[in-house]
Chains A and B, each alone.
Chain A
Amino acid sequence: MTNKAPTKLDFPASLIKHDYEEMLFMRIFEEKCQFAFRNGKAGGYLHLYVGMEPLATGWLNSIRKGYDYVITAYRDHGHALVLGSDPLAVMCEILGRKGGLSNGKGGSMHLYDAEHQLYGGWGIVGAHTALGLGLAFAAKYRGEDRVTLCYLGDGAANAGIFYESLNMAGLWDLPIIYIIENNYFAMGTRLEYHAADTNLSKRGYPFGIESEQLDSMDVMEVRKDAARIIEMVRKEQKPYLVEALTYRFVGHGAADNSQELYRTKEEVAKARKRDPIHLLHDVILEHNILTQGELEALEEKFRAEVDEIYAKAEASPHPDPEDVYTNVYTDISPEVGH
């Protein structure tokens, strides 16, 4: 028993349960991706969203899904799942199979889902911030009230093209929200070793872009911030910049075995005390939204679901060799042969 007064809930129990389920599913999905990579079933580069789940759940449930534009970098599995992509199609893509979002041509870093307005999935750090600008430009050009969410990392916040994009966003009042996911590491380089001013929220200032720094480990807080900012950008038709303070509990990529080169185990353990899923877990118990038994059953259910998705993906066919030539162009084939 505790004498502590229960925290006040700003959202209905059903929404809290939804967000918990979504983030837990994402976490288990990502752990399975790590497993796939370690077992040689997924190749290339693979980046997990473990610890950063509120940024997908909080923001993407606050937009008009299927209408507003979303674009991110290579740590993109969570965005696809929250936007409504079929988890099997996501897993197939990560395993490079037919039935993947791009039938195995994109891979983990390049998830696109046009139906759900997910525009990638990009691997050149910072470069997609200009693509996001173009999405926002198109919305404004057509007089639509779509908002574009463009996620980027703290490392990308140093790229020149990001500043070029901020300048044009500010110059033309484009309705885009740049969300800098500051997880404190540009791959293996700590924030204070890569940023002249570690307050990344200031990066919008020179371009007249309203900006703020937001703690982003508590999904309920993220939701509140997201709803407020999205509404404002949609209404006022101007850009906004958010520095979202977050933390990745796992390596930069699934192959990152050198975390001790840039952070201590103690630092990670300390950060994990604010694991966004645990934070919500506690709220759920405190407010009797679910019982401990129900929470355990939920986790078991998701593990079984993800196991099944993985098994199906692994049983899915590889692309046919002749698929290599399709969709290089919309209308012609490239030259054939070696």
Chain B
Amino acid sequence: MSVMIYRDAIRQALIEELDRDDNVFLIGEDIGRYQGTFRVTQGLYEKYGSRRVVDTPITEPAIVGLANGAAMAGLRPVVEMMTMSFSILALDQIINHSAKIHYMSDGQLKVPLVIRGPGGAANQLSAQHSHSIEGWYAHVPGLKVVAPSTPDCAKGLLKAAIRDDNPVIFTENPGLYGLKSEVNDDPNYVIPFGKARVAREGKDISLIAYSRMLHVCEAVAEKLEADGISAEVIDVRCLKPLDTETIFASVRKTHRAAVVYEDWKFGGFGGEIASQISEECFDDLDAPVLRVGGLNVPMPYSRVLELECIPEVQDVLATLKKIL
């Protein structure tokens, strides 16, 4: 084990997979000579050269299109979206192509593709650069969607994503890039998809979250403990495939649940988790399943207004009062 920050853990996963398989290559805007906008790919252009680390024009639809084609031909592209907000430009390629190729060809073709990049609000990036759209992608059959909350998860899940034969959306919250914690050094260490993590055990309520909101929930759990309430915190890690088994087991133990997500509350992925719990665990519930999400507005620029939009500890605690 070694201690590293989230950004470096992602880079370490890229290095290990680039070293392991010549079919793996990185492609994106400003990832090479410029070292990556968020410095995730720092040093990789110098180490691997322009064949493996490909700087592109600003052209998201064709970047993903190229990656789809290269993947059909047997390569394993890892696309960096400068921010996941820009992947909106490539929605046709991702939804109409990446997600459908294996099915439409009835298994003749595979798309071992990773699209990764920062998703979610950072620091006053305002309305066009702050989207949490992992839920959009999780809605689409044929895609896998991952949202790691810790450096260790980021490394293990990214390696799994690169080795996966399906298109994977890998979203990194920009607020986590500097987060430091222990990471498994073993180059063979991968975290299989579809396994949620019990981040904290408890018995009175299940707090279910992924990515940065996991840390908000852990802070909430600390506060609740001071009040004598024992909260279990579930790190979903993988939106698709979704580990409902771990989520349901937790709810059957605690009998109460809240899902916390940074995406707009209305129609967000937390609603899917909440409704699945309601359908499958109705008899175990002592209270309605609650959602805590981002405010249903475009992200404003003002720091004061921005913070208003993103769920924080106090917002979660206020909502939980309804059922605790």
- A260 CB-CB contact with B under 8 Å: no
Q: A165 with B62: in contact, given A132-B69, A329-B144 (CB under 8 Å)?
A: yes
A36 CB-CB contact with B under 8 Å: no
Q: Is the CB of A131 within 8 A of B65?
A: yes
Query: Does B39 have its Cβ within 8 Å of any Cβ on chain A?
Result: no
A77 to B285, CA, bound (A): 56
Mark A80-119 against chain B: 1 for CB-CB distance below 8 A, else 0. Answer: 0000000000000000000001110110001011100001
A127 in contact with B103 (CB, 8 Å): no
- B109 interface neighbour in A112, A139, A331, Cβ under 8 Å: A112
A328 CA to B93 CA, complexed, in Å:
17
Near B by CB (< 8 A), chain A positions 309-338 give 326-332, 334
Is B43 an interface residue when CB atoms closer than 8 A count as contact? no
Q: Which of B51-59, B173-181, B227-235, B248-256 contacts A (4 or more CB under 8 A)?
A: B51-59
Are the C-beta atoms of A134 and B141 separated by less than 8 Å? no
Interface contact A114-B70, CB-CB below 8 Å: no
CA distance A78 to B242 in the complex (A): 42
Q: In the bound complex, do residue A164 and residue B73 qualify as a contact, i.e. CB atoms below 8 Å apart? A: no
Decide if A171 is an interface residue (CB 8 Å cutoff). yes
Residues on B with C-beta less than 8 A from A103 are 106
- Complex Cα distance, B25 from A120, in Å, reads 24
Whether the pair B70, A161 counts as a contact (CB closer than 8 A) is no
Of the candidates B57, B70, B194, the one whose C-beta lies within 8 Å of that of A135 is B70
The reply to whether B57 and A69 form a contact with Cβ atoms under 8 Å apart is no
Near A by CB (< 8 A), chain B positions 50-84 give 51, 56-57, 59, 61-62, 64-75
C-alpha gap A107/B93 in the complex (Å): 20
Is A138 within 8 A of B165, CB to CB? no
How many chain B residues sit at the interface, stated as a range, is 35 or more
The answer to whether B62 and A141 touch across the interface, beta carbons within 8 angstroms, is no
Interface size bracket, A side: 35 or more
Residue numbers in B under 8 Å from A139 (CB-CB): 73
Contact: A69 with B61, CB < 8 Å? no
Q: Which residues of A contact B102 (CB under 8 A)?
A: 327-330
A127-B65, A134-B69 known; A167 vs B106 contact (CB < 8 Å): no
Query: Which A residues are in CB contact (< 8 Å) with B71?
Result: 134
A170 to B194, CA, bound (A): 41
User: Which residues of the other chain, A, contact B57 by a CB distance below 8 angstroms?
Assistant: 164, 167-168, 171
Partner of A332, one of B56, B66, B194: B194
Contact B106–A137 (Cβ < 8 Å)? no
Query: What separation, in Å, do the CA atoms of A167 and B70 have in the docked complex?
Result: 17
Instruction: Report if A15 contacts B (CB, 8 A).
Output: no
The residue in chain B whose Cβ has the minimal distance to the Cβ of A105 is B106
Contact of A119 among B67, B109, B141 (CB under 8 A): B109
Is B108's beta carbon under 8 Å from chain A? Answer: yes
CA distance A106 to B107 in the complex (A): 11
Given the complex of chains A and B, what is the CA–CA distance between A106 and B73 in angstroms? 19
Could you tell me if B61 and A160 are in contact, using CB atoms closer than 8 angstroms?
Answer: yes
A44 → B minimal CB distance (Å): 12
Name which residue of chain B comes closest to A139, CB basis. B73
Instruction: Check B61 against A134 for contact (C-beta < 8 Å).
Output: no
Contacts of A119 in B (CB 8 A): 69, 72-73, 109
Q: Does B2 contact A (CB under 8 A)?
A: no
- Nearest-neighbour CB distance to chain B for A112, whole angstroms, equals 4
**CB within 8 Å of A: which of B130-185?**
141-142, 144, 164-166
CA distance A164 to B90 in the complex (A): 12
Give which listed residue, B65, B96, B106, B142, contacts A165 with CB less than 8 A. Answer: B65
Q: How far is the CA of A127 from the CA of B61 in the complex (A)?
A: 8
B143 smallest CB distance to A (angstroms): 9
Contact with A along B78-99 (1 / 0, CB 8 A): 0000000000000011001100
Give 12 A-B contacts (CB < 8 Å), ordered by A residue.
A102-B105, A112-B108, A112-B109, A119-B69, A120-B101, A130-B68, A131-B69, A134-B65, A134-B71, A165-B66, A168-B57, A329-B102
Cβ-closest 8 pairs across A and B = A134-B69, A130-B65, A164-B62, A138-B73, A131-B69, A102-B106, A112-B105, A134-B70
Given pairs A131-B69, A141-B75, A329-B166, 5 additional interface contacts (CB within 8 A): A105-B106, A127-B96, A131-B72, A164-B59, A332-B194
Interface residues of B (CB under 8 A from A): 25, 51, 56-57, 59, 61-62, 64-75, 92-93, 96-97, 101-110, 141-142, 144, 164-166, 193-194, 241
A: residues with CB less than 8 A from B are 69, 71, 101-103, 105-106, 110, 112-114, 119-122, 124, 127-139, 141, 160-161, 164-165, 167-168, 171, 326-332, 334
